[in-house]
Amino acid sequence: MRVRDGPATVTGCWEVPGSQETPAARTDRTRAWTPAERTLAVTPYPFSAVVGLDDLRLALLLTAVSPAVGGVLVRGEKGTAKSTVVRALAALLPEVDVVRGCRFACDPAAPDPGCPDGPHEPGAPHGHRPATLVELPVGATEDRVVGTLDIQRALADGVKAYEPGLLAAAHRGALYVDEVNLLPDHLVDLLLDAAAMGRAHVERDGVSVKHAARFLLVGTMNPEEGEPRPQLVDRFGLVVTVAAPRDPVQRAEVVRRRLAYEAGPDAFASRFAREEAALAARIVAARSAVPSVVLPDAELDRIARISLAYGVDGMRADIVVARCAVALAAWHGRTTVTREDVHDAARLALPHRRRKDPLDPPGTDEERLDEALAQADADMPPDDDPDGGPENPDGGPQDPGGGPEGPGGGPDGPGSGGAPPSSDATPPSSDATPSSSPEGDAGDKSEKPGGQGAAAPAGAVFRTRALTIAARGEGGHAGRRSPAFARRGRVVGSRVPLGKLRGAPHLPATLRAAVHRAAGSTADGSAPGFVQPRDLREAVHVGREANLVLFVVDASGSMAARKRMTVVKTAVLSLLRDAYQRRDRIGMITFRGREAEQVLPPTSSHEVGVLRLAALRTGGRTPLAAGLRTAAATIATERRRDPRRRPLLVVVTDGRATSGPDPVTVAPALAGVSTVVVDCESGPVRLGLARRLAAALGADVMPLDALSAAGTIDPAGRPAAARGRAA
């Protein structure tokens, strides 16, 4: 049975007696579905019917064999069947034994001693149920994820009523997050805590509930929309990059199967029933074989040498590679981990663990990993057997797809052969970081009108001063830049809730309201000695929000003089890093010659901003007014798309305008926009044009050499930085 619960979906589970179903879930479950919708929901796309994607299928199967591997993050462009493959995995997961009536799926063999529905007696009634695949939507609330306490009943009746959330439903199953890179920070924090400790915590004003939450974490994302937090990426054991097939025959087969599935899901699924059953049985067999697989000391030494040669941080990489190698050996039917298992595991578990800078594009170290594997093999001490022994001493199947009935065989074509192929994972260009070639000096060519100089390199980034919007926002997007009303943060007051209590109650204000009501209780006949729901007041918090940081960068010929563009690129790159750390969206506009260009539309992908900045060239005249007009149009468009996100405009220029109208005439179009002008003018004689522009825009002005946060500190302990004015 499937329970469609609000925005989330729980796949493959039945109702547990005694469970508490929310009204939203009950309404959605009992609504009238169309026949086509019901059929597609009940019959998922078969896992073995997926064409190609060998790396992805292998990674998912390995985590099903050994959940201790730590889950899978799937990166890929839109329309590459990422979600389809993940949802198809639910039908292959083995059933689990659960204590009957327990809402937290306790294992009857080892029940959780702290289970809120416990304690469970030994020999308690138990049963079987399919493993769950719980989908966590990006827009879920914190209470929906970890569960919630009924505050009204707790205050009015003294009853601690707890309603489990999605983490409880995913216990001993899988938790799937589509578009995991768009997950809000407060939900990321919850996932990090649960993944690290295996437990979910609900804390509400002195009332605490804890329960086990151990699950297989699977996330999918489109890199074009930005990268997830590095801490979250590190929690995924394996990362796979997928792409649409480039073979026209394979693409045609994908479409043929999809159309056949939509025309008759049951008939289509029956075609692959034998392959699905074989895969499910093989997962069960491999899972039972994992404890008996031997990891020799020589292969442990190889894993350590690979990690050192690759330059990963910490010890999690070594542990994940070891677990994945053991799972690979069990999947192949071997009793001992081999060199090939270690290599294949390293290719799945290491590429995302070497990012030394958060703005370095991931997946750019494939050649470095090959070198690390070769170096580790060369450094290994010689074995007694110079040939390394037979490749498959235990006689198990060689391909990870399990022959004709595995995911890489049968109707999908040949297996992947053990080593994850690289055809589906095209790494970004190696020029992700700004070039350091000596061609960065534009020279005289950039000074000529209409000329175009070479791309100037950028220097080492630095920690910038904090640029913020001084005015308090009205509950925008969670982040770390500007002050705003939020669900978390410092409590600054209380208010009467609009409908259901959305956050923590403000207890002093609630008690005051109860006292005032009790003073007049004789007139309405209410009991004066109890707190009633109408007395509740919710706390008002002030935290930090993320903004839209829009860079307007002068790329004219004057910026190339005396290698000034190198300094400017370094400053903008440092601001990009700061925007990444503060969870902002970014955009970039440049102006040179006769017009302005939006080189980076507003996006969460800061890595793309680094690439565009590295390719930025200089030359020509300075149409400053055109750059400001483009910025005003971009901000107006983004306000229509997302009125809650406030813009912060950063204009990087020397203020000189040699083309187009006077930039001061464009100032009214940017009225009310918080702006900072970074003055790039240098030399002994300065005209002060940037300060004139800042005065017209109502903006703060900051010399380029004062952008670093390594300057003076004010008495409050903060850098003495320029602040954007209130919007």
pLDDT digits (tens, 9 = 90+) for 348-370: 888 887 765 666 655 556 667 77
The tokens of 317 are what?
A: 């990489």
Q: Do 540 and 495 contact (CB within 8 A), yes or no? A: yes
Q: What pLDDT, on a 0 to 100 scale, did the predictor assign at position 151?
A: 61
Q: What is the pLDDT of residue 387?
A: 41
Residue spans per domain, the chain? 273-412, 438-469+547-706, 491-542
Residue-wise pLDDT tens digits, 426-454: 333 333 333 333 333 333 333 343 444 55
Whether 424 has a pLDDT exceeding 90, the answer reads no
Quickly count: other Cβ atoms within 10 Å of residue 276's Cβ.
19
Helix 339-349, helix 366-379: angle, nearest 10:
150
- Top pLDDT among 499 and 398 is at 499
Q: What is the 3 state secondary structure string of 659-681?
A: CCCCHHHHHHHHCCCEEEEEECC
pLDDT score at 467: 87
Instruction: Among 303-307, 383-387, 396-400, name the one with the lowest average pLDDT.
Output: 396-400
Tell me which of 72-81, 98-107, 530-539, 704-713 is least confident: 704-713
Token duo for residue 708: 């670093």
Confidence of residue 150 (pLDDT cuts 50, 70, 90): low
Q: Which residue has better confidence, 607 or 648?
A: 648
Residue 708 has pLDDT above 50, yes or no: yes
The verdict on whether 316 is a catalytic residue reads yes
Predicted local confidence at residue 389, as pLDDT: 42
Q: What is the mean pLDDT of the chain?
A: 75
Segment 647-651 shows an average pLDDT of 93
Measured in degrees and rounded to the nearest 5, phi and psi for residue 122 equal: -60, 135
Torsion angle in degrees (nearest 10) through CA of 91, 92, 97, 98:
-40
Question: Out of 282-286, 370-374, 492-496, 560-564, which region has the weakest mean confidence (pLDDT)?
Answer: 560-564
Residue 155 is predicted with a pLDDT of 59
Task: Annotate 572-590 with b (16+ C-beta within 10 A) or e (fewer).
Answer: bbbbbbbbbbbbbbbbbbb
Query: Distance of CA 503 to CAs 8, 139, 203, Å?
Result: 21, 16, 12
Catalytic residue among 2, 199, 271, 316: 316
pLDDT score of 412 more than 70: no
* pLDDT in the model for residue 552: 92
Angle formed at CA 473 by CA 471 and CA 475, multiple of 5 degrees = 165
Average pLDDT over residues 244-270: 89
Tell which wins on pLDDT, 668 or 34: 668
CATH number for 438-469+547-706 (one of 3.40.50.410, 3.30.70.20, 3.40.50.1100, 3.30.70.100): it is 3.40.50.410
Using N-to-C axis directions, what is the helix angle for 564-581 and 606-614, rounded to 10°? Answer: 180
**Amino acid letter, 607:** E
669 pLDDT exceeds 60?
yes
Instruction: Give the pLDDT band (50/70/90) at residue 675.
Output: very high
State the average pLDDT over residues 239-259. Answer: 89
- Tell me the pLDDT tens digit for each residue of 189-247: 888 888 777 888 777 655 677 888 888 888 888 877 777 877 788 888 898 888 888 88
Which residues are bridge partners to 588 per DSSP? 551, 600
CATH superfamily, domain at 273-412: Magnesium chelatase subunit I, C-Terminal domain (1.10.8.80)
Question: In this structure, what token pair is assigned to residue 159?
Answer: 């009853």
- Contact predicate 541/490, CB 8 Å: yes
Counting Cβ atoms within 10 Å, is residue 436 exposed (0-12), middle (13-18) or buried (19+)?
exposed
Res 124: pLDDT: 74
Query: Higher pLDDT residue, 152 or 259?
Result: 259
The residue to which tokens 């009633």 are assigned: 532
Alpha-carbon distance of 169 to 284, in angstroms, equals 22
Q: Give the 3-state secondary structure of residue 381.
A: coil
- How, if at all, do strands 700-703 and 674-679 pair? parallel
Q: What pLDDT is stored for residue 709 in this prediction?
A: 64
3-state secondary structure 103-138: CCCCCCCCCCCCCCCCCCCCCCCEEEECCCEEECCC
pLDDT of residue 528: 55
Backbone angles phi, psi at 399, to 5 degrees: -90, 140
Local structure of residue 598 (DSSP, 8 states)? E
User: Is residue 515's pLDDT more than 70?
Assistant: yes
Average pLDDT on 11-27 reads 35
Q: What is the mean pLDDT of residues 115-119?
A: 78
- pLDDT confidence of residue 11: 37
pLDDT at 174 over 70: yes
Worst-scoring range by mean pLDDT, 21-35, 62-76, 235-249, 251-265? 21-35
Model pTM greater than 0.75?
no
The winner for highest mean pLDDT among 82-91, 188-197, 388-397, 474-483 is 82-91
Residue 104's pLDDT band (cuts 50, 70, 90): confident
**The pLDDT of residue 650 is above 90:** yes
Which of 14-28, 154-168, 572-586 is the least confident region?
14-28
Is the pLDDT at 52 greater than 50? The verdict is yes
For the segment 671-680, the average pLDDT, to the nearest whole number, is: 91
Residue 420: the pLDDT is 38
Q: The tokens 């996330």 sit on which residue? A: 219
For the record, the structure tokens of 491 come out as: 């409590």
Contact in structure between 70 and 296 (CB atoms under 8 Å): no
Which residues have C-beta within 8 Å of that of residue 153, sequence separation ≥ 6? Answer: 159, 161
As a whole number of angstroms, the distance between CA 119 and CA 116 comes to: 8
